[in-house]
Amino acid sequence: MTITTETLIALMPLLIVGLTVVVVMLSIAWRRNYKLSTQLTLSGLLISLLATMFTSLTQPNLVQVGHLLNIDIYASFYTVLVLLAAIATTIFSYSWLRNYPDNKEEFNLMLLMSTAGSILLSSACHLATLFIGIELLSLPMFGLIGYAFRRDRSLEAAIKYMVLSATASSFLVFGMALLYAANGDLSFVALGLDLEKSFGLPLQLAGLGLLLVGFGFKLSLVPFHMWTPDVYEGSPAPVSGFLATAGKIATLAVLGRLFLTAPVAVNYSVSFIISLLAFCSILMGNLLAIKQNNVKRIMGYSSVSHLGYMLIALVVLRHSAQAGDVLNANEALAVYLVGYLLSTIVTFGIISLVSSPYKNDDADMIEQYTGLFWQKPIYGICLAIMMLSLAGIPLTVGFIGKFYVIAIGATEGLWWLLAALIVGSAMGLYYYLRIAIIVFQPRDEKESSFCCKASPLANAIIILATLLVILWGIFPGMLFHLASLIIPS
């Protein structure tokens, strides 16, 4: 493979994050200074974000890096979402870890490595790159989830995630091996061509089935979702937010590229299985969330249901790819992911800012947020708006994303999935509004006050994200225009 200037420019976001890992590692070796390592991490992520925007403007066409990566507008969009999640997590974690009584610098190191894996996934066009990206995303997460190792629940969550992630990776790599044995190639394009010629071989069906199981674990779809609430509850709040956003966004990005590049891989039988996973995830995720009193567990089960909503867009994406029209389904997935990212990262950010991890567990029980508005008005208002957006209430970007998914589902006649979406959304109103209402209730004066030692940057992110949720909910035109440009090459 010849490395050209064009290739290097296209790879800049990934290379900058990789270089930042080295710089942060050297700074830790030279002198432990959490503020310095956080500044270096944040600088590297911001430069990578600017480089991504520069690349998408100067090189809007496809740039292929061997047979492993396709860097285009599609990859740039999802890279931007991943970097925004990483930047927010870095800022929220600084407040969360500031007084943590142990080494703090390695947190940024593992966050950067996981971000690099997510960026790699966004550009992957080969099953080998897909596997490397998923592992680079997942392995640092073991340490991030168990970072507050002095708490039993954190260690338990890390062990559960490690075991189940390793199991999912085993399914993925075995499925890839079977597909390679059947087709002799692992690139998405070649895989699509081979499956179109000879679909139905036992090795191909077994390989696709194992891939679905692996992705089901990674995306926490029913029935592979049981680890999700425990891991979300035991993880540090900023890590739960990163896991719920960057990891899911990158995995959905590579799945979308696979579905569009090799639509034959998602034939009627596979498409029906994916639809069934979406149906069960929507209903079970919302049903189980109703019974919870822990905000982080509610968000865990909520993510299961939201992934079910997004799978509807992926099912339509498969039909659209075969019909030659990918615009609407791709737009719907992009719009929904933007709303989901903003709402989820701010919710976990507020949880981290009102928590005191070095003294006790995170403030994650619903009753602990009683009267949040009266002590921290900005946090109370923003948390309520994020709950309304996740519930799909009008005048929020969450409503726009959910409405778009309903619209494209109706055009394809997926009525049973849309019925599940409507019923699931009705159930979701209960637990989302429960949180939104409790922050405005009077607070007992005898209760301890909230521990809010937030940096100005953390407050700025919360306010800006809330404004975008409202602005794009009222005027979604700009978001639609941006999403219309995102078609993989």
For residue 173, tell me if it sits in a domain: yes
Residues 194-221: tens digit of each pLDDT = 777 776 677 888 888 888 888 888 888 8
pLDDT reported for residue 19: 94
Give the pLDDT band (50/70/90) at residue 323.
Answer: very low
For residue 247, tell me if it sits in a domain: yes
pLDDT reported for residue 444: 67
For residue 73, tell me if it sits in a domain: yes
For the chain, the average pLDDT equals 84
- Bigger pLDDT: 91 or 68? 91
Q: What percent of the chain has pLDDT over 70?
A: 91
For residue 177, tell me if it sits in a domain: yes
Give the pLDDT band (50/70/90) at residue 446.
Answer: low
Nearest CA among 55, 62, 67, 57 for reference residue 14: 55
> Of 220-224, 444-448, 451-455, 460-464, which range is least confident?
444-448
For residue 489, tell me if it sits in a domain: no
pLDDT reported for residue 319: 59
pTM of the model: 0.92
Into how many domains does the chain fold? Answer: 1
Residues 161-199: tens digit of each pLDDT = 888 888 888 999 998 888 888 877 788 888 877 777 776
- pLDDT at residue 324 tops 50: no
Give the pLDDT band (50/70/90) at residue 453.
Answer: low
Residues 259-301: tens digit of each pLDDT = 877 765 556 777 788 889 999 999 999 999 998 888 889 999 9
- Bigger pLDDT: 452 or 342? 342
Provide the pairing of β-strand 69-71 with 63-65. antiparallel
**Could you give the CA distance from residue 348 to residue 84 in angstroms, rounded to a whole number?**
14
Token couple for 74: 């599609």
Reported as type and span, the H/E element at residue 63 is strand 63-65
Q: Which domain holds residue 285?
A: 5-484
pLDDT reported for residue 388: 93
Nearest CA among 219, 351, 200 for reference residue 269: 200
Give the pLDDT band (50/70/90) at residue 50.
Answer: very high
Give the pLDDT band (50/70/90) at residue 156.
Answer: confident
Give the pLDDT band (50/70/90) at residue 114.
Answer: very high
> Of 183-187, 194-198, 309-313, 386-390, which range is least confident?
194-198
Give the pLDDT band (50/70/90) at residue 236.
Answer: confident
Give the pLDDT band (50/70/90) at residue 228.
Answer: confident
- pLDDT at residue 39 tops 70: yes
Contact indicator for 36, 128 with CB cutoff of 8 Å:
no
Contact indicator for 418, 332 with CB cutoff of 8 Å:
no
pLDDT reported for residue 264: 59
Token couple for 263: 């639509």
CA distances, 68 to each of 1, 61, 120, 177, 186 (Å): 11, 17, 10, 17, 9
Residues 362-381: tens digit of each pLDDT = 677 888 888 888 888 888 89
> Of 106-115, 275-284, 380-389, 479-488, which range is least confident?
479-488
- E strands, 210-361, are none
Give the pLDDT band (50/70/90) at residue 45.
Answer: very high
A 10 A CB-CB count for 324 gives 6
Give the pLDDT band (50/70/90) at residue 318.
Answer: low
Question: Burial letters for 58-77: b for 16+ Cβ neighbours within 10 Å, e otherwise?
Answer: ebeeebebebbbbbbbbbbb
